[in-house]
A and B are shown apart, each in its own frame.
Chain A
Amino acid sequence: MNDKVWIFRTGDGLKSALQEIRALKKRFENARVEDKGAQFNTGLEGALQLDFTLDLAEVTIASGLARTESRGAHFRRDYPKRDDTNWLKHTLAYHTSEGPRLEYLPVTITKWPPVARTY
């Protein structure tokens, strides 16, 4: 995630990261918790955290891959421009057995309409 899914991303990098995360999720199916204790089981806590982290990593990559524009901390080197026409919308990810299903929600603009950040 630090190499391929950080601020500056490319479609190729994200695709390869998605494969790696899916491979890790496959591996995780065989993960075992060494600690069998019922109290303060930090091994179980760690396993649950890893489970959730892998899900969220997949969501992060899939939604970043779909979003073919750059916006804030999501900077696609292959799509460096902001695209308000197509992408002024929130990504909603839903869990499915085949991976996250993406839907979108329009942004409600209130006091501050979004403008391009120019320095």
Chain B
Amino acid sequence: MASKVEKTVELTIQRFDPEKQRRYLSSFKVPIRKGMTLLDALLYVKDNFDGTLAFRSSCRMGICGSCGVMVNGKPMLACYTQVLQLESDSILVEPLQGMTVIKDLVVDLDAFFDTYKRIDSLLIKPEAAVKTATAFAQAPAELRRYWDLTLCIKCSICYSACPAALDDRFLGPATYMTNYRFIRDSRDEGQETRLKPMEENIWLCTSCNSCTLFCPKEIECAGSIVDERGLVVETGSIPKTVKDVLESVVKYHNPMGMHPSKRMEWAKDLNVKTFPEGDQADVLAFIGCAPAYDPRTQAIARSLVSVLRNLEVDFTTLGTEEWCSGDHVMRLGERGLFEMLAEHNISMFEKAAAKSVLTICPHCFNTLKNDAPYRDKQFNVRHYTEFLADAVGQGRVQPAKAFSKRVTFHDPCFLGKRNGIYEAPRQILTAIDGLELVEMKRNRENSFCCGGGAGRTWTEDSTPEKRPNVDRVREALSVDAEVIATACPFCVTTLEDAVKVLDVEDKIEVKDILEILKDTLK
């Protein structure tokens, strides 16, 4: 390489010596030139400093999928990563998370590749057709239906980042996506065979979007899984837990099977305005099913009322006319039911004519903001953390009491990974006196899902060791947090379940930011 050395970067590498079963860190100062990839830097270390460093690599150009590693906490291909673009003078390189390490950066890929054996990753055609045909012609438009899904290089980054893959029944994002690639292929005649291996396990996906977010080929893995669920739902061969959720929404417009007339019971002593029966207001608070009905998370809805009143915000709700936003329903594959719910809520929003819609739940927030048909209406939808962070910035939030605890923030996937809102919740927390905010190793974009998304909060049937929430609470305990703060009712319930499973209720508690903030205001 002829270009000049731009800077020297300290490369710290997580090592593992399989013979001595020893984990340790090695640091090397690597001169970085323009155009150098992280793989070049690793090869430089191996050539110049330490020949014993082990990592996989082959093509050096993002085709072979060998060199997936964690770079400053984020999984990526070493050969696809320009060192200068990391804009960091110290880089931590670790083996892919969630995988068994063989040596240094080399992980065991057997479990990942074994998942492909549970689907058919070849075209399914009747024997006779294969024997007689010379070619299976396809029009360009038919090719386009699945082309993007063929770009997978099986690097296992999605599998490593996947919370559902903690349970070995789950096939992993790449494998569901590969299955879907054949389902979308007009030449394939194996649709029924292809749905079978997914019927029992596809429900473990939480739609956290990590697979799509980290895929070096930008493949919509998470979307493929939702589409496949849609096909499984159509066949009717779905677990009872999923069926129950969908039926409750059909009957009662909420997934927990509560009577719609009870939707405002959480607020019965609070005199909360409701529309269309009552008054109009600038802010329409969309409460969401969990905070409306679930006794634990009703406290979050009640906290919202206290906080908004403290800030003198004029708000209303849809009262009993608020229906499930449909996020979980849609991500469980019931698009038709989702559209019915959306149609109703849209007509209510239009009647209420509020300037903004404020949500408690990041799932409602995401779907009201980003999913058609809601998206097409361009309502001004805001999550409460954005709204309150603004108020903090304007000096309108004045916590009067201290909250002297060591708090870690768990990023809800639908707030963070799906909407890029990472700082607003932290701004609220750091505005609170006495609160010490500590970060878990996996935070912000690299956060790890609680395991509650896409309906799993109601259908959870994994053993405790294989649940993402247990993994996550262990991580919070590892940074000695006394409180896990989050900003999502599903994260609150799933993480609280894990606290109980781990029997650490005396060590750590789970709170929504609204609950913490409410207690500090006058």
Contact = CB atoms under 8 A, between A and B. Distances in A.
Interface of A: 33-43
Nearest to A40: B103
Given A37-B18, A42-B54, 8 more contacts: A34-B52, A36-B52, A37-B52, A37-B54, A40-B54, A40-B106, A42-B46, A43-B52
Contacts of B46: 42
Nearest to B47: A46
A43 B106 CA distance: 14
A contact face: mostly helix, strand, loop, or mixed = loop
A33 B52 CA distance: 9
B337 interface: no
26 contacts: A33-B51, A34-B50, A34-B51, A34-B52, A35-B51, A35-B52, A35-B54, A36-B52, A37-B17, A37-B18, A37-B19, A38-B19, A39-B18, A39-B19, A39-B102, A39-B103, A40-B18, A40-B54, A40-B103, A40-B104, A42-B46, A42-B53, A42-B54, A42-B55, A43-B51, A43-B52
A37 B46 CA distance: 15
Contacts, number: 32
Contacts of A40: 18, 54, 102-104, 106
Chain B interface mostly: loop
A33 B46 CA distance: 12
B413 to A, nearest CB: 34
Interface string B18-43: 11000000000000000000000000
Interface in B62-121: 102-104, 106
B488 to A, nearest CB: 41
A38 B55 CA distance: 15
Nearest to B52: A35
A37 B51 contact: no
B100 to A, nearest CB: 12
A37 B53 CA distance: 11
Contacts of B106: 40
Contacts of A43: 51-52
Interface in B214-264: none
Q: 4 nearest interchain CB pairs?
A: A34-B51, A35-B52, A40-B103, A39-B18
A92 to B, nearest CB: 30
Nearest to A34: B51
Nearest to A35: B52
A26 B53 CA distance: 26
Contacts of A37: 17-19, 52, 54, 103
B93 to A, nearest CB: 15
Contacts of B54: 35, 37, 40-42
Contacts of B51: 33-35, 43
Contacts of A34: 50-52
A34 B46 CA distance: 10
A36 B50 CA distance: 12
A41 to B, nearest CB: 8
Contacts of B104: 40
A114 to B, nearest CB: 27
Contacts of A33: 51
A37 B52 CA distance: 8
Of B50, B51, B106, most buried by chain A (CB within 10 Å of CB) is B51
A29 B53 CA distance: 23
B472 to A, nearest CB: 30
A48 to B, nearest CB: 14
Nearest to B56: A42
A41 B18 CA distance: 11
Contacts of B50: 34
A38 B102 CA distance: 11
Contacts of B18: 37, 39-40
A28 to B, nearest CB: 15
A33 B50 CA distance: 11
Interface string B267-297: 0000000000000000000000000000000
Interface in B123-163: none
A41 B104 CA distance: 11
A36 B18 CA distance: 12
Contacts of A42: 46, 53-55
Contacts of A38: 19
A40 B102 CA distance: 7
A23 B46 CA distance: 24
B60 to A, nearest CB: 15
Contacts of A41: 54
A27 to B, nearest CB: 16
Contacts of B53: 42
Name which of A37, A38, A42 has the most chain B CB atoms within 10 A of its CB: A42
Nearest to A43: B51
B56 to A, nearest CB: 8
Contacts of A36: 52
A42 B54 CA distance: 6
Nearest to A45: B54
A41 B46 CA distance: 12
A35 B55 CA distance: 13
A102 B102 CA distance: 43
A35 B18 CA distance: 13
Residue from B50, B52, B106 having most chain A Cβ neighbours under 10 A: B52
A43 B104 CA distance: 13
A39 B104 CA distance: 11
Contacts of A39: 18-19, 102-103
Which of B17, B54, B55, B102 neighbours the largest number of chain A CB atoms within 10 Å of its CB? B54
A75 B103 CA distance: 45
B96 to A, nearest CB: 15
A36 B102 CA distance: 15
A111 B109 CA distance: 45
A11 B457 CA distance: 74
A38 B53 CA distance: 13
Contacts of B55: 42
